[in-house]
Amino acid sequence: MPIHVLSADIASKIAAGEVVERPASVVKELLENALDAKASEINIRCLEAGKKLIEVEDNGIGISGEELPLAVLRHATSKIEQAEDLFQIRTLGFRGEALASIASISRFTLTSRTAEMEYGTRLEVEGGISKGIRILGAPFGTTVRVEDLFYNVPARQKFLKHDQTERQHIDQVVANYALAYPQVKIKFFQEGREVLNTSGNGNRLEVLVSLLGVDTALKMIEVMFEDNRIRISGFISPSHLTRSNRKDFHFFINQRPIQDISLGSAVMQGYQNYLMVGRYPMVWLFIEIDPQEVDVNVHPTKAEVRLANPGWLFSQVQHAVRRALMSRSPFPEVTSNSGWEFPVVQPSVVRTVNHPEPAELSEQDKYHQKVITPTERIPLLRVIGQVASTYLIAEGPDGLYLIDQHAAHERVLFEKFIRQAPDQISSQNLLEPVIVEVTASQARMLEDQLPFIKKLGFDVEIFGANTFQIRSIPTLVKGLAPEAAFRAIIDDFEEDETPLQRELLHKLIARICKRAAVKGGQVLTLEEQRALVLDLEACESPRTCPHGRPTMIHLSVDLLERQFGRRGAI
Ligand code: ADP
Ligand code: MG
């Protein structure tokens, strides 16, 4: 094929792909435009996860009738004029390509009226082709309607995820801007249902309350850190309020939500010694610095930024987090555990299980402390004691076994769980039902999944708006705080896009077991140590925890002899 210039139509669809990845990208761009237009009230409506309709209505400065056609032209913007402006950006938009992109891949309607106009004007565009402008009565401000997104880009449609996932992305975008702009009243509906409604009174904590619920929001620690070059404010969770993923790491630079992995690491360093392994805090940090310190013109979506002094910002964030944490609790809190109870075992039953001897290890293996391959049973063990309140030492027919008490207990609980018939997981009524508040998007998801959650032994009911009542929990996790167990499930649903699968059931159970299992650092009586090892011996796959990590290390007699120079030479 000879080289030729692409048609404007194809070029604009390619460019649109960079800006509009999914419905949430449209919501983001329209919301940014409304905020740049100084709106004090914004209403957002989405239908079918934004695929059928996204409508954003604002009471901002509006667009005049003459300028309406310009607004949807590529590289047409009112926000910058010259190249130097790129280093002084104080608006969310500046590239002048969002409306052009969106209008080229949807049925697009832009209605607007400025304070000077007696009536409004409306421009309609379909797949990038203008359908004309007309005059009509309209309120001050701008309303953008985006219908049938991607209707002319079937390839993009295919890449969209489950509606639930797309809705979560939209929720996230709106939540972030609502927090960044607490002085703006934002009302947000998905599928006709109110997801968020902020008062616009400027109180950021109030917005957080409407997102997380009162209980959780009020547990947050406030961050306030200021010097002449920087201001960092926001909220971070105390060390007992954590998640299993980084989904609630939110960073804003000059009121723009941004993604920056290094800031996440800065936060984790700030939390050093305050968190258990594998747990992540919830963090909303609003950083204000001179616009010259940040280059936002790195990527079409403007979510990634380049910092003039990344190392400096990193240490400021780490410091701000640390200081806030210390103000709440001067000493790290990780040693506290969740009131775990040891399960009762009947040794006689367990002892009847037949244990094959471990397979022969290769010579090479014998030279190293070797993690034994999974799927093998373990021999009968004699418990000797506990080391560092974390590992159990046991003697077997061939040497020593070092057992990770947490991993081992996870395995034990997991197998007990899955051995129960799926419909008969036994559950235990709580003396007092526990009320748990969740975010609107979590509530929507949980409502869909209630029958499935019941199968796991949780008796959970809708209690009110975004509130659930837990009346019973699986017997196997009876020592665990019901709320913690319930939140473990929410974490999993949020990560998995195709729930109701068998693997998910196992994943969920593994997650609950992880929470319920005895922790490292917890002192166990000899009785408890023995009971745990007995239980482990009875497991089908005792050598790994449900997540695949080893539960034990075997130091064979042979290895010991070699290490002590009793046999052969090393
Ligand atoms: P950018 O925001 O990068 O300038 P957009 O394509 O998003 O580019 O918007 C193009 C222009 O249309 C903006 O510069 C602004 O002048 C105008 N505009 C878009 N949305 C609004 C709105 N909600 N209110 C007022 N003006 C708007
Ligand atoms: Mg814009």
Model confidence pLDDT, tens digit, residues 31-75: 999 999 999 999 999 999 999 999 999 999 999 999 999 999 888
Which residues have C-beta within 8 Å of that of residue 6, sequence separation ≥ 6? 14
Label residues 152-175 b or e (16+ Cβ within 10 Å = b): bbeebeeebeeebbbbbbbbbbbb
Q: How far is the CA of 63 from the centre of ligand 2 (A)?
A: 13
Mutate which of 36, 140, 256 to test ligand 1's pocket (most atoms within 8 Å of Cβ)?
Answer: 36
Q: How far is the CA of 301 from the centre of ligand 2 (A)?
A: 10
Q: How far is the CA of 41 from the centre of ligand 1 (A)?
A: 17
Amino acid, res. 294: V
Question: What is the reported pLDDT for 421?
Answer: 62
Sheet hosting strand 467-474, strand order edge to edge: 427-437, 467-474, 459-464
- Most confidently modeled range among 76-90, 131-145, 156-170, 436-450: 131-145
Has residue 132 got a pLDDT over 90? yes
| Nearest CA, atom 16, ligand 1 | 78
Mean pLDDT of the region 236-249: 89
Question: What is the reported pLDDT for 170?
Answer: 96
Q: How far is the CA of 232 from the centre of ligand 1 (A)?
A: 29
- Quick check: CB of 264 below 6 Å from ligand 1? no
Rounded CA-CA distance 446/434 in Å is 16
Q: How confident is the model at residue 541 (pLDDT cuts 50, 70, 90)?
A: confident
Q: How far is the CA of 113 from the centre of ligand 2 (A)?
A: 18
| C-beta neighbour count of 412 within 10 angstroms | 28
Would you say 399 and 447 are in contact if contact means Cβ atoms under 8 Å apart?
no
Has residue 488 got a pLDDT over 50? yes
Of 209-218, 457-466, 485-494, 528-537, least confident by mean pLDDT is 485-494
Tokens of 535: 């239980």
Model confidence pLDDT, tens digit, residues 447-473: 878 887 887 788 899 888 889 999 988
- Quick check: CB of 492 below 6 Å from ligand 1? no
Mutate which of 59, 77, 89 to test ligand 1's pocket (most atoms within 8 Å of Cβ)?
Answer: 77
Atom nearest to 76 CA in ligand 1: 10
Mean pLDDT of the region 129-156: 95
Phi/psi of residue 88, nearest 5 degrees? -135, 40
Q: How confident is the model at residue 129 (pLDDT cuts 50, 70, 90)?
A: very high
**What is the residue whose two structure tokens read 């972030």?**
176
- Quick check: CB of 142 below 6 Å from ligand 1? yes
Atom nearest to 110 CA in ligand 1: 20
| pTM recorded for the entire structure | 0.70
Question: What is the reported pLDDT for 85?
Answer: 80
Atom nearest to 34 CA in ligand 1: 23
Q: How far is the CA of 5 from the centre of ligand 2 (A)?
A: 27
**What is the residue whose two structure tokens read 């000879």?**
2
Question: What is the reported pLDDT for 357?
Answer: 37
Has residue 413 got a pLDDT over 80? yes
- Quick check: CB of 334 below 6 Å from ligand 1? no
| Nearest CA, atom 25, ligand 1 | 62
- Quick check: CB of 176 below 6 Å from ligand 1? no
Residue scoring higher pLDDT (547 or 557): 557
Q: How far is the CA of 5 from the centre of ligand 1 (A)?
A: 28
Q: How confident is the model at residue 213 (pLDDT cuts 50, 70, 90)?
A: confident
Q: How far is the CA of 71 from the centre of ligand 1 (A)?
A: 6
Indicate the helix (H) or strand (E) that contains 285: strand 283-289
For a pLDDT cut of 90, what percent of the chain falls above it? 45
| Closest C-alpha to 411, from 378, 369, 434 | 378
Q: How far is the CA of 306 from the centre of ligand 2 (A)?
A: 20
- Most confidently modeled range among 139-153, 377-391, 412-426: 139-153
Amino acid, res. 378: I
Task: For residue 554, count CB atoms less than 10 angstroms from its CB and return exposed for 0-12, middle for 13-18, buried for 19 or more.
Answer: buried
Atom nearest to 91 CA in ligand 1: 2
In the DSSP assignment, the letter for residue 368 is S
Mutate which of 18, 61, 78, 85 to test ligand 1's pocket (most atoms within 8 Å of Cβ)?
Answer: 78
Residue scoring higher pLDDT (555 or 51): 51
Question: What is the reported pLDDT for 137?
Answer: 95
Phi/psi of residue 233, nearest 5 degrees? -130, 175
